[in-house]
């Protein structure tokens, strides 16, 4: 079996035809992941016992003549900010280096109920804070497409395993672009669903009004299948929505004739020429498929970075307050008093980027600054959401770049936090509005670096987003 | 200058973070640049604009509430399993009363 070329459909056919069993596939996938992982450091750890047990349950289902499940036997990786019962979950942080969660995230539970086989946990920026995966306490991830470059972040490991072929699909989390940007950098599909579409129960909280769980895959169809499994109301997450989850794959008709697409003029000004050319080519391909493309205005865009980094860091400073040395494995033992213990545990445990964001978030929430920063940012967020609402009066979907540039070299941007923040410009607007958005491969630069195209649609209209992305992905083009 | 070293130390206290002098100097520079960028928001007229505190979607009035039925809790042992210092069924901490 050629593991890197597997799709969900292919696994299903092979299992039903008894070409190989889920257990054989899991064992082979684990061996392959173990052999290939040193190149990228994308997996932080494999969980062979859990994977083999899940595979065996699938084999038993098949033996009983039952359906193997929508993800039956499919090797899956999970970002290490999503908790897995009995399997270490570090969030890329030294603070949680030994943390073994006592429960499963809802998304993890649903994947296993659907027959998915979780192979292991993937590397990421510490507490999902970063755009390059260089903020992991356990070393950076290398981009499988170009090993001297970053895979993007914060879900760099989850993008890399799918690109490298050491998992068929994976789960990541996205707060301001942490799924779409690494998907773009690694040349895979990455989906940030509507806010509320997927339960966050068991997702380690970073910025609660912005956090999402979503899938990575090598095809739009596989990503849609995973979202169909993990989506839907969960009584354990009061922010998960009741909205019914459609059968996305039934809507992948390849017919996008007459779809009205908006191209935000504010975005296009900020691209490197090569990325801009690839996006323009992509737009022309969509026009050739019969889509009507028009330019739209998103005037609040230039304030999005400031807005996002106020709201996200404010929420992070509050969410990360729980890592105080009392409950979560790490404690500074050299402290005589409770308050010293809190301070030293956090000072020793958090990495530089987490400290920066905790400080920024604490500052913008502190007395005298709350209204000038936090409240102001929440009002600007309303204006950004309004830009999208206005645009969707006119168009069915918005097409945009994901990142101003392709994957950069390891170490190239680590010393300039503001420059790193500014590179999130195209992904954070959709995050702030809470709408579904995804990255779909759009071609490669002359150097062979992948560039993703972003597709954004109305709240809960992942169906149109997937239909457009699937049609775009299947445009015949030479690689 | 948006933020002084003294303010950085004050905020670190609020955030319960022990920082080295080197970290404080670097954070002062970083935060200064970032806060300057954030001041851009002052250009935006937000009079009469409601703050967006959460992404809202159509839902029933009590959609966020689960049915009021008891479910099994995590249990003491599981809850304490990750404690750096458990003791007698509790989380142990250093002495709370200072001075």
- For residue A34, the model assigns a pLDDT of 98
Retrieve residue A12's tokens: 């299903």
Computed on alpha carbons and rounded to an integer, the radius of gyration of chain B in Å comes to: 23
The answer to whether B44 contacts chain A (CB < 8 Å) is yes
Distance of alpha carbon A299 from alpha carbon A389, whole angstroms:
13
- Name chain B contacts of A135, Cβ cutoff 8 Å: none
> Phi and psi at residue A167, in whole multiples of 5°?
-150, 155
Contact B24/A at CB under 8 A: no
> Do A356 and A421 form a contact (C-beta atoms < 8 A)?
no
Q: Domains of chain A (ranges plus CATH)?
A: 3-251 (3.90.1300.10)
- pTM of the shown model: 0.97
Q: Residues 86 to 105 of A: which have CB under 8 A from any B CB?
A: 98-100, 102-103
Any A CB within 8 A of B30 CB: yes
Rounded distance, CA A419 to CA B75, Å?
46
Q: Where are the domains of chain B?
A: 5-43
The pair phi, psi for residue A261, each rounded to 5°, is -115, 140
Contact A113, A106 (CB under 8 A): no
The C-alpha atoms of residue A428 and residue A418 are separated, in whole angstroms, by: 15
Q: With cut-offs at 50, 70 and 90, classify the pLDDT of residue B99.
A: low
Set of chain A residues whose Cβ sits within 8 Å of the Cβ of B55: 195-196, 209, 433-434, 459
In 3D, which of A109, A378, A362, A150 has the Cα closest to residue A237?
A: A109
DSSP string of A109-168, one letter each residue: HHHHHTT-EEEEEE--SGGG--SSSTT-TT-PPPBTTBTTB---SSSHHHHHHHHHTS-S
The pair of structure tokens assigned to A81 is 């900010």
* pLDDT for A59: 98
Specify the 3-state DSSP secondary structure of A221: helix
B74's tokens: 């995590």
Comparing CB atoms, the residue among B3, B18, B46 nearest residue A376 is: B46
- The residues, ordered by sequence, that sit 6+ positions from A69 with a Cβ below 8 Å of its Cβ are A58, A61, A113, A114, A115, A116
pLDDT, residue B61, reads 64
Closest CB from B33, B53, B93 relative to A378: B53
Interface test with A, best of B94, B96, B97 (most A CBs within 10 A): B94
Fold topology of B5-43: Histone, subunit A (1.10.20)
Token pair for residue A228?
């169909």
Contact, A255 vs A222, CB < 8 A?
Answer: no
B20-57: burial string, b at 16+ Cβ within 10 Å, e else? eeebeebbbebbeebbeebeebeebebeebeebeebeb
Q: Which residue of A has its CA nearest to B74?
A: A102
Q: Report yes or no: A240 at the B interface, CB cutoff 8 Å.
A: no
Indicate which of B44, B73, B96 best probes the interface with A, i.e. most A CBs within 10 Å of its own CB. Answer: B44
Q: How deeply is B14 buried, as exposed, middle or buried, from its count of CB atoms within 10 A (0-12, 13-18, 19+)?
A: middle
Q: How many CB atoms lie within 10 A of CB A11?
A: 26
Does the CB of B73 have a partner CB in chain A at under 8 Å? Answer: no
Cβ count within 10 A of residue A155: 35
**Residue from B16, B63, B67, B83 whose CB has the most chain A CBs within 10 Å, to mutate:** B16
ipTM attached to this prediction: 0.94
- A and B: number of Cβ contacts within 8 A: 177
Helix axes A22-36, A8-16, angle to 10 degrees: 140
Q: Which of B8, B31, B91 sits opposite A326 (nearest CB)?
A: B91
Asked if omega into A322 is within 30° of 0 (cis), the reply is: no
* Residue A251: φ, ψ to 5°: -100, 5
Tell me which chain B residues have a C-beta less than 8 angstroms from the C-beta of A236: 66
Mind telling me how many Å the CA of B35 is from chain A's nearest CA? 8
The residue among A362, A363, A425 with the most chain B CBs within 10 A of its CB, best to mutate, is A363
In angstroms, the CA A404 to CA A417 distance is 16
Residues of A acting as catalytic residues: 79, 154, 178
**Is the Cβ pair A359, B11 closer than 8 Å?**
yes
Q: Which of A479, A474, A478 has its CA nearest to residue A289?
A: A474
Q: Which two tokens stand for residue A219?
A: 């095809």
**Cβ-nearest to A341 among B14, B67, B93:** B93
Partners of residue A331 in chain B, C-beta under 8 Å: 84-85
Q: What string of DSSP letters covers B33-52?
A: HHHHHHGGGGGS--TTPPP-
Tens-of-pLDDT digits for all 479 residues of chain A? 899 999 999 999 999 999 999 999 999 999 999 999 999 999 999 999 999 999 999 999 999 999 999 999 999 999 999 999 999 999 999 999 999 999 999 999 999 999 999 999 999 999 999 999 999 999 999 999 999 999 999 999 999 999 999 999 999 999 999 999 999 999 999 999 999 999 999 999 999 999 999 999 999 999 999 999 999 999 899 899 988 999 999 999 999 999 999 999 989 877 778 999 999 999 999 999 999 999 999 999 999 999 999 999 999 999 999 999 999 999 998 888 999 999 999 999 999 999 999 999 999 999 899 999 999 999 999 999 999 999 999 999 999 999 999 999 999 998 889 988 999 999 999 999 999 999 999 999 999 999 999 999 999 999 999 999 999 999 987 65
- Closest chain A C-alpha to B80 CA, distance in angstroms: 7
**Beta-carbon count within 10 A of A475 CB:** 12
Q: Which two tokens stand for residue A116?
A: 């998915």
Rounded Cα distance between A294 and B68, Å, is: 50
Question: The tokens 């390059």 sit on which residue?
Answer: A132
């Amino acid at each position: 079996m050629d593991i890197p070329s597997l799709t969900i459909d292919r696994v299903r056919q092979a299992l039903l035809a008894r070409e190989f069993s889920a257990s054989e596939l899991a064992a082979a996938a684990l061996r392959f992941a173990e052999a290939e992982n040193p190149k990228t450091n994308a997996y932080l750890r494999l969980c062979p016992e859990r994977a083999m047990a899940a595979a065996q349950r699938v084999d038993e289902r098949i033996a009983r003549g039952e359906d193997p499940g929508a993800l039956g036997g499919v090797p899956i990786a999970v970002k290490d900010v999503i908790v897995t019962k009995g399997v270490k979950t570090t969030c890329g942080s030294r603070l949680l280096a030994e943390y073994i969660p006592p429960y499963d995230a809802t998304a993890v539970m649903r994947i296993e109920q659907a027959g998915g086989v979780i192979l292991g946990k993937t590397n990421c920026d510490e507490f999902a804070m970063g755009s390059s995966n260089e903020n992991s306490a356990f070393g950076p991830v290398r981009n499988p497409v170009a090993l001297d470059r970053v895979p993007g972040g914060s879900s760099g490991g989850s993008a890399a395993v799918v690109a490298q072929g050491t998992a068929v699909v994976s789960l990541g989390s996205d707060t301001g672009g942490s799924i779409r940007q690494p998907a773009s950098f690694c040349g895979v599909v990455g989906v940030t669903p509507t806010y509320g579409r997927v339960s966050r129960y068991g997702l380690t909280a970073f910025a609660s009004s912005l956090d999402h769980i979503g899938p990575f895959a090598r095809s739009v169809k596989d990503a849609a299948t995973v979202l169909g499994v993990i989506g839907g109301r969960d009584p354990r997450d009061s922010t998960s929505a009741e909205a019914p989850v459609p059968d996305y794959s039934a809507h992948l008709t390849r017919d996008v004739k007459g779809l009205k697409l908006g191209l935000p003029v504010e975005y296009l000004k900020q691209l490197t020429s090569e990325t801009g050319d690839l996006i323009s080519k992509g737009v022309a391909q969509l026009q050739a498929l019969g889509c009507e493309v028009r330019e739209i205005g998103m005037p609040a865009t230039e304030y999005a970075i400031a807005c996002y980094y106020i709201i996200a860091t404010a929420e992070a400073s509050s969410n990360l307050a729980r890592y105080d040395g009392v409950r979560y494995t790490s404690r500074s033992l050299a402290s005589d008093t409770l308050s010293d213990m809190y301070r030293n545990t956090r000072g020793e445990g958090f990495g530089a980027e987490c400290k920066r964001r905790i400080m920024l978030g604490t500052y913008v929430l502190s007395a005298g600054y709350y209204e000038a920063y936090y409240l102001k940012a929440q009002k600007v967020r309303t204006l950004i959401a309004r830009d999208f609402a206005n645009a969707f009066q006119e168009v069915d979907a918005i097409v945009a770049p994901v990142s101003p540039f392709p994957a950069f070299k390891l170490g190239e941007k680590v010393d300039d936090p503001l420059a790193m923040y500014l590179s999130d410009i195209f992904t954070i607007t959709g995050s702030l509005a809470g709408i579904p958005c995804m990255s779909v491969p759009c071609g490669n630069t002359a150097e062979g670096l992948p560039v993703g195209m972003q597709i954004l649609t109305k709240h809960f209209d992942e169906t149109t987003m997937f239909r457009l992305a699937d049609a775009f992905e299947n445009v015949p083009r030479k690689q | 200058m948006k933020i002084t070293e003294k303010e950085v130390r004050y905020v670190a206290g609020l955030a319960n973070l022990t920082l080295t002098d080197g970290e404080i100097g670097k954070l002062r520079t970083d935060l200064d640049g970032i806060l300057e960028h954030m001041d851009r928001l002052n250009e935006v007229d937000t009079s009469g604009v409601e703050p967006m505190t959460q992404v809202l979607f159509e839902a029933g009035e009590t959609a966020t509430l689960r049915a009021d039925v008891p479910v099994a809790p995590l249990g003491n042992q599981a809850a304490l399993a990750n404690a750096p210092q458990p003791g007698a069924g509790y989380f142990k901490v250093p002495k709370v009363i200072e001075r």
